């Protein structure tokens, strides 16, 4: 199964931010008659020149105003504050940091949007204690995955040895990921993927689980750098970036990239002010590139 292409299937529904890249492209190609940059690097608004420091954030603010500050879902009115549910998936052998980093970031964001965002640890089997792959550390899933709930379904990677022989009983990370893809998690992810009000997200090896589940063939994604070949073998276009935003599929690289993925979700969903406030609270600045499959393809040099 090929995961739906957001440019074809999400024109009239789903997250408005799914089409942020197309809006951004229009913002570049079509000048705002009221505000634009002149040849001297100044911002003109209704004929009045405003000095534009090249190191300032004004240009970014224009971009944010055109792109990020949009209704959360297309077709929704500006100011629509319907609840969004962030479901972070637990499965046997998960990596704790892949879970805790997004959980804390999104939980902090939830406090800043007056309860419009809920964050839950979930499992395919419903409420249970789930043992991670790190020294027996367990977290409690408090609910079953609900693929019908609008919001984000976030799949973490696994923890364990990177080398070893499975015939000798060594559960390497690829073995743990493959095992997770063979559980009840896969059909639930397929149902979530079919919901136009759900964005699938993966941290580290989470994208490999989705690839093994047949969800993201032909899509762009990233994982830990040690697993990029596994993505490619599953028919995914691997991208070596911190975060890859492919519309209704957002993935992040290894381990600490979960912080950047969660901040990007807050930025897409609620705008840069909320995301920046969480950055300040955590004393963490986003790292790396958010890659999108838009714009002119560069020539190989």
Tell me what pLDDT residue 167 has. Answer: 84
User: What ranges do the domains of the chain cover?
Assistant: 6-67, 84-291
Where helices occur in the chain by DSSP H, the ranges are: 6-9, 20-29, 58-67, 96-112, 173-181, 185-193, 206-212, 228-233, 257-270, 272-282
102-138 pLDDT per residue, tens: 999 999 999 999 989 999 999 999 999 999 999 999 9
28-61 pLDDT per residue, tens: 334 443 343 343 444 443 333 333 343 333 333 3
DSSP code, position 203:
E
Question: pTM above 0.85?
Answer: no
Tell me what pLDDT residue 162 has. Answer: 87
Query: CATH code for 84-291?
Result: 3.40.50.880
């Amino acid at each position: 199964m090929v995961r739906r292409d957001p440019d074809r299937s999400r024109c009239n529904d789903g997250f408005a931010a799914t089409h942020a890249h197309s809006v951004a492209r229009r913002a570049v190609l079509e000048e705002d008659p009221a505000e634009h940059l002149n040849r001297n690097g100044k911002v003109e608004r209704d004929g009045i020149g405003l000095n534009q420091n090249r190191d300032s954030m004004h240009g970014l603010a224009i971009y944010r105003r055109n792109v990020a500050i949009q209704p959360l879902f297309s077709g929704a009115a500006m100011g629509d504050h319907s609840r969004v549910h962030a479901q972070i998936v637990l499965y046997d052998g998960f990596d704790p940091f892949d879970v805790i980093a997004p959980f804390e970031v999104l939980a902090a964001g939830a406090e800043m949007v007056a309860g419009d965002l809920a964050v839950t640890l979930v499992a395919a089997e419903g409420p249970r204690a789930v043992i991670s792959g790190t020294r027996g550390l367990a977290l409690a899933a408090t609910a079953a995955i609900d693929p019908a709930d609008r919001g984000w379904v976030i799949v973490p990677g696994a923890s364990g040895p990177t080398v070893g022989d499975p015939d000798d009983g060594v559960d390497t990370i690829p073995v743990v990921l493959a095992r997770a893809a063979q559980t009840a998690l896969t059909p639930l992810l397929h149902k979530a993927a079919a919901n136009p009000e759900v964005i699938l997200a993966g941290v580290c090896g989470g994208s490999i689980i989705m690839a093994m589940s047949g969800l993201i063939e032909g899509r762009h994604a990233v994982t830990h750098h040690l697993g990029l070949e596994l993505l490619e073998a599953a028919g995914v276009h691997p991208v070596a970036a911190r975060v890859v935003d492919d519309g209704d599929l957002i993935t992040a690289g290894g381990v600490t990239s979960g912080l950047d993925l969660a901040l990007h979700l807050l930025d897409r969903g609620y705008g840069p002010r909320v995301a920046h406030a969480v950055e300040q609270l955590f004393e963490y600045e986003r790292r790396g590139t958010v890659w999108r499959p838009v714009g002119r393809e560069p020539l190989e040099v």
